[in-house]
Amino acid sequence: MKKKLSISDIARSLNISVTTVSFILNGRAEEKRISEELVQRVQKYIAEVGYKPNSLARSLRTGKSNTIGLMVEDISNPFFANIARMIEDNAYKNGYKILYCSTDNDTEKTKDLIQMFQERHVDGYIIAPPDGVEEEINTLISSGSPVVLFDRNLPGVHTDYVGIDNYGSTYHAINYLIRKGYKNIAFITLYSLQSQMQERMQGYESALAEHQMNQHIKEIPYSNDPDDIIKHVSAFLSRKKEVDAVLFGTNYLAVSGLRAIYNLGLKIPSDLAVIAFDDHDVFELSNPSITAIKQPIQEISGEVINLLLKGLKSPSKLKKPESLILKTTLELRKSSK
Amino acid sequence: MKKKLSISDIARSLNISVTTVSFILNGRAEEKRISEELVQRVQKYIAEVGYKPNSLARSLRTGKSNTIGLMVEDISNPFFANIARMIEDNAYKNGYKILYCSTDNDTEKTKDLIQMFQERHVDGYIIAPPDGVEEEINTLISSGSPVVLFDRNLPGVHTDYVGIDNYGSTYHAINYLIRKGYKNIAFITLYSLQSQMQERMQGYESALAEHQMNQHIKEIPYSNDPDDIIKHVSAFLSRKKEVDAVLFGTNYLAVSGLRAIYNLGLKIPSDLAVIAFDDHDVFELSNPSITAIKQPIQEISGEVINLLLKGLKSPSKLKKPESLILKTTLELRKSSK
DNA sequence: ATGAAAGCGCTAACAC
DNA sequence: GTGTTAGCGCTTTCAT
């Protein structure tokens, strides 16, 4: 277990000053007009002894940690896991590491988490926020940290946002079902004030209203336990026999919803047509396969990290917030006739 | 944007020394016999002004970062995403944050990643390693960092490990297929030297050997692109018409494999029985549902974090490595007659 | 029971 | 071009 080397050890061994070493380390040799030969010598020595700067000390000194805080609803949800993966790749490529956490859509938990990240001096935040954390996020922003929101926006928070056209997505999906002749179209969604869920609901309502059709809405409280969801969906569908099509508000509602539907012995699409919001491997391989509103995950992650890196580069005050609303696609499969 | 407070600001405002504040902050007031009244006063003030110690400075001083490095094959794979979620919950509960990364089973990438984590002074490592990083991991261990390996073990590395009975799992699965009367059972697996894949292969081979049955093995190179896998599986199955059952070595091989099977127009289980290694939402909801070898994810994560926390507490030298081999269950579904 | 002060390893303003 | 040095904010030894 050899002793960790420090910059002064290097300087001493080479008989030069720490400043010189530091400048070379930070690629400022040219700028400081340090002789090419010295640079070579230092780099060779550093490689030889395997010296690595202590990033903690560096961070303490510079105030930058080269770390990004990623806060999602649940890292085990495939939508977020996929986004996390793409963001990771991009961040590492740019010299940033990722600290992650799952909020469970819990406002208090999220506040704690934000504080933890703050104490850790993460350089920037990527957040899919629950509602109720507007104030904390505004504090973050006004203290100069770049923040990119995604998946759901926060009213009253002035920062970069990447989302999708939720309203249009459900609006079109419902119109598709109407064209196919379904008469009683239900919307099974999360009991939530989050912007994306509200917009999805509005799209559903508008489409029905335009055709003077009845609403059948079921809002289910957020839960980590699939069985809770299954129970709610079962109860709803057993009660509402007239429902002949259902749009699920999120992918995991749909996954649990499918279980409920199979448990009830309902046949898709003859008894019930199904569309899910957010795609999932399950939907392609189910039999029948399930039509889904597909978010452009790659594009979302790309824009998110892109905006954050931009924010990291330029002082946030100079940059005015951008909002990107991306298009979804309705992936037609066999779950509707 | 108010100036960040430091411990000396607190001390100055309260007219006491930083030492005292530090002791109180670190819960050593009792031990240092600081008057109860002073402790109260300091804590009240700290809460009032919202002072938060700078964890960077603390880490620099103590050498502990309260961060755990989590390295998995691919965070977007549901198996790893689920483990990540459970590990996160436990770690945060114990005051640790998680830095994660995906190795893509790439030896060189993993070496880089290990180095990055080392530079970050993570306190401990949880790794599902590719092969070829034995040396790097041994260096980590001998430098005193606790390391817990999971999912696959590394020969020659002496550290905690949590895995499953891979050999027994495939052995039993194949025997089950044999009992059901299948004659030409294929094993579609990863082209890999990793311990868990080798063991799975051995279980397959032993079971067949005991019944003097022919092997049909297809090893597919690791790829992030599902289409690559689909192509390989399609080619293999079109060539090997006699195959009447197939065991997939990992869940994502099975997910892509199912696509290949459907593309070829094969019917499960009449044309082909299917078993997957690792469960997945897809398998339960597919029609027919797919039999799978299910890993006890909760138990795995629990043991992993448990071992790591143990290692974090006691100097690793004093602790002798533990290896935990957990049992899987064969989740019988409809993909075999 | 409390305080002074020496660093942890690094960066960068300033001096030469 | 290169060196000296003052911190970044904290912990902890040693002194009182």
Q: CB of B25 under 7 A from strand D? A: yes
Residues of A in contact with B118 (CB under 8 A): 52
Q: How far is CA B234 from CA A33, B132, B177, in A?
A: 61, 31, 22
Rounded to the nearest 10°, the torsion over CA A133, A138, A139, A144 is 140
| Residue of chain A whose alpha carbon sits nearest to that of B102 | A85
Inter-chain touch B100–A121, beta carbons under 8 Å: no
Q: State the nearest Cα–Cα gap between B210 and chain A, in angstroms.
A: 35
Give the pLDDT confidence score for residue B1 in this predicted structure: 40
The 10s digit of each residue's pLDDT in B188-207 is 999 999 999 999 999 999 99
Confidence of residue B4 (pLDDT cuts 50, 70, 90): confident
Question: Whole-angstrom Cα distance, residue B297 to residue B302?
Answer: 8
Q: Is the pLDDT of residue B257 over 60?
A: yes
| CA–C1' B135–C16 (A) | 48
Q: Which nucleotide is nearest to A20 (CA to C1')?
A: D2
A16 burial via Cβ count (<10 Å: 0-12, 13-18, 19+): middle
Collapsing DSSP to helix, strand or coil, A147 comes out as: strand
The 10s digit of each residue's pLDDT in A251-300 is 999 999 999 999 999 999 999 999 999 999 999 998 899 999 999 999 99
Distance of CA A146 to the CA centre of its chain: 15
Each residue of B233-249: b (16+ CB within 10 Å) or e? bbebbeeeeebbbbbbb
Inter-chain touch A65–B56, beta carbons under 8 Å: yes
What tokens does B65 get?
């970062």
Q: Which nucleotides of C are covered by protein (CB under 7 A)?
A: 1-5, 7-14
Q: Which nucleotide is nearest to A61 (CA to C1')?
A: D8
Residue A68: what residue type? I
- A82, A85, A136, A280, best to mutate vs chain B, most B CBs in 10 Å: A85
Which residues 47-66 on B are within 7 A of strand D at the CB atom? 53-54, 57-58, 60-62
CATH number of the domain at A166-296+331-336, please? 3.40.50.2300
Give the pLDDT confidence score for residue A319 in this predicted structure: 79
Inter-chain touch A287–B284, beta carbons under 8 Å: no
Select from B160, B21, B55, B323 the least CA-distant residue to A118.
Answer: B55
Inter-chain touch A121–B284, beta carbons under 8 Å: no
Q: Is the pLDDT of residue A135 over 90?
A: yes
Q: What percent of chain A has pLDDT over 70?
A: 98
Question: Whole-angstrom Cα distance, residue A69 to residue A308?
Answer: 11
| Residue of chain A whose alpha carbon sits nearest to that of B65 | A56
Q: Is the pLDDT of residue B209 over 50?
A: yes
The 10s digit of each residue's pLDDT in B24-68 is 999 888 888 888 889 999 999 999 998 889 999 999 999 999 999
Q: Which nucleotide is nearest to A4 (CA to C1')?
A: C9
What tokens does B271 get?
């044309």
Q: Which of A52, A54, A116 sits opposite B97 (nearest CB)?
A: A116
Pick the CATH number of A7-53 from 3.90.1200, 1.10.260, 1.10.8, 1.10.4100: 1.10.260
Question: Whole-angstrom Cα distance, residue B148 to residue A250?
Answer: 35
Give the pLDDT confidence score for residue B22 in this predicted structure: 93
Q: Which nucleotides of D are covered by protein (CB under 7 A)?
A: 1-5, 7-13
Q: What percent of chain B has pLDDT over 70?
A: 98
Q: Is the pLDDT of residue B111 over 90?
A: yes
Q: Which of A1, A59, A118 sits opposite B142 (nearest CB)?
A: A1
Each residue of B154-182: b (16+ CB within 10 Å) or e? beebebbbbbbebbbbbbbbbbbbbeeeb
Give the pLDDT confidence score for residue A148 in this predicted structure: 98
Q: State the nearest Cα–Cα gap between B105 and chain A, in angstroms.
A: 14
Residue nearest to nucleotide D8 (CA to C1'): A61
Q: Which of B56, B59, B76 sits opposite A81 (nearest CB)?
A: B76
The model's pTM: 0.94
Q: Is the pLDDT of residue A104 over 70?
A: yes
Contact A114, A137 (CB under 8 A): yes
Domains in chain A: boundaries: 7-53, 62-163+298-324, 166-296+331-336
Listed in sequence order, the residues at least 6 apart from B142 whose beta carbon sits closer than 8 Å to its beta carbon are A1
Q: Per-residue pLDDT averaged across A209-237, rounded?
A: 96
DSSP codes, A61-114: HHS---EEEEEES-TTSHHHHHHHHHHHHHHHHTT-EEEEEE-TT-HHHHHHHH
Inter-chain touch A76–B76, beta carbons under 8 Å: no
Q: Is the pLDDT of residue A2 over 60?
A: no
- What mean pLDDT is reported for chain B? 94
Listed in sequence order, the residues at least 6 apart from B40 whose beta carbon sits closer than 8 Å to its beta carbon are none
| Residue of chain B whose alpha carbon sits nearest to that of A86 | B76
Q: How far is CA B303 from CA A137, B280, B293, in A?
A: 35, 21, 20
Select from A87, A181, A103 the least CA-distant residue to A137.
Answer: A103
Q: How many CB pairs under 8 A join A and B?
A: 132
Domains A62-163+298-324 and A166-296+331-336 share a fold: yes
Give the pLDDT confidence score for residue B317 in this predicted structure: 65
| B67-72 sheet: strands from edge to edge | A323-326, A160-164, A147-150, A124-127, A67-72, A97-102, B97-102, B67-72, B124-127, B147-150, B160-164, B323-326
DSSP codes, B287-334: SS--EEEEP-HHHHHHHHHHHHHHHHHS-GGGSPP-EEEEPPEEE--S
Question: Whole-angstrom Cα distance, residue B197 to residue B167?
Answer: 9
What tokens does B10 get?
């607190």
Select from B269, B265, B270 the least CA-distant residue to B290.
Answer: B269
Give the pLDDT confidence score for residue A1 in this predicted structure: 40
Strand partners, A125: A69, A147
Torsion sign across C-alpha atoms A81, A85, A91, A92: positive
Q: Which nucleotide is nearest to A11 (CA to C1')?
A: D3
Residues of A in contact with B297 (CB under 8 A): none
Least confident of A228-242, A292-306, B277-291: B277-291
B326 burial via Cβ count (<10 Å: 0-12, 13-18, 19+): middle
Angle (CA) B233 B239 B241, round 5°: 100
Give the pLDDT confidence score for residue A184 in this predicted structure: 97
Q: Which of A55, A78, A284 sits opposite B119 (nearest CB)?
A: A55
What tokens does B54 get?
């700078």
| CA–C1' A11–C16 (A) | 19
Give the pLDDT confidence score for residue B107 in this predicted structure: 97
Q: Is the pLDDT of residue B133 over 80?
A: yes
Inter-chain touch B282–A285, beta carbons under 8 Å: yes
Residues of B in contact with A74 (CB under 8 A): 85
Residues of A in contact with B257 (CB under 8 A): none
Distance of CA B46 to the CA centre of its chain: 39
The 10s digit of each residue's pLDDT in A162-171 is 999 999 999 9
CATH number of the domain at B62-163+298-324, please? 3.40.50.2300
Confidence of residue B318 (pLDDT cuts 50, 70, 90): low
Strand partners, B291: B275
Q: CB of A15 under 7 A from strand D? A: yes
Contact B90, B305 (CB under 8 A): yes
Q: Which nucleotide is nearest to B60 (CA to C1')?
A: C8
Give the pLDDT confidence score for residue B316 in this predicted structure: 62
Angle (CA) B184 B288 B229, round 5°: 60
Contact A308, A124 (CB under 8 A): yes
Q: Is the pLDDT of residue A181 over 50?
A: yes
The 10s digit of each residue's pLDDT in A28-75 is 888 888 888 899 999 999 999 988 899 999 999 999 999 999 999 999
Strand partners, A69: A99, A125
Strands B291-294 and B329-331: antiparallel
| CA–C1' A228–D5 (A) | 64
What tokens does B131 get?
């092969």
Contact B283, B295 (CB under 8 A): no
